[in-house]
Amino acid sequence: MICAYGPNAQSLKDRLLAPSFAHPLGTDELGRDTLTRVIYGARISLTIGLLPTFISMTIGTILGLIAGYFGGKIDFAIMRLADIMLAFPSLLLAMVVMYTMGGGLINIFIALSLVNWASTSRVIRSETLSLSKKEYVEAAKSMGVSNATIIFRHILPNCIPYIGGIIYLKYTFSHTFGEFFKLPRCRCTAAYGKLGTYGRECKKISVYTACTCTGTGYGYNDCSF
């Protein structure tokens, strides 16, 4: 409905055309419409970046809330586990997990989720420690409100501004790692990482792809705050 061409539809007589009404961003070396490939490329690239980010954010947020609210041995155990994860560079640890489990989209998601939750849990735990001492939390406890209700109804909503900023940073890492690791997909598949490599033959494709990635990142960053 949005694109007039298929992402892999080739027309060699139309290769390397300049931007025009028919092809707003021109065509590549095989005559494929650049705008169409940039739009379709967002599906794979955003999936690689967003899905592992939300998984790791969910794990880190829940563990951070539990550690900050209950404290004691629970807090100690979760934070020591987080320290172990943070002791290794994220990229190196993710690569070790990938080499251990093998390639594939699912394994990419698992690797990124395992290495990204620790920093999130520390940030959320710190904010939970502060919020758990607030008057409205103490009042809820005195009224007999359950711990789960206090955590998810009174404390979690106040952590959302911090979560929004962390998501942007985690998305950047996840997307970069996914493209760096060369996911097993067809060479003709439209994805931002693939499109960027075509700049060797056609510089404008790299420029359009870079502008799209930058605009997506800044757009989300503005929305999250």
191-216 pLDDT tens trace:
655 555 555 555 566 666 666 666 66
- Rg of the chain taking only CA atoms, in angstroms: 22
Q: For 72-112, what is each residue's pLDDT tens digit?
A: 999 999 999 999 888 888 777 777 777 787 766 777 778 77
Q: Position 80: which residue type?
A: R
Are the CB atoms for 122 and 82 separated by under 8 Å? Answer: yes
* pLDDT, mean over the chain: 76
Element (H, E) at 52: helix 34-70
Structure tokens at 123: 């940030």
Higher pLDDT, 188 or 174: 174
Are the CB atoms for 191 and 46 separated by under 8 Å? Answer: no
Confidence of residue 177 (pLDDT cuts 50, 70, 90): low
Q: Residue 224: which of 157, 170, 164 has the closest Cα? A: 164
CA 168, 170, 173, 175 dihedral sign is negative
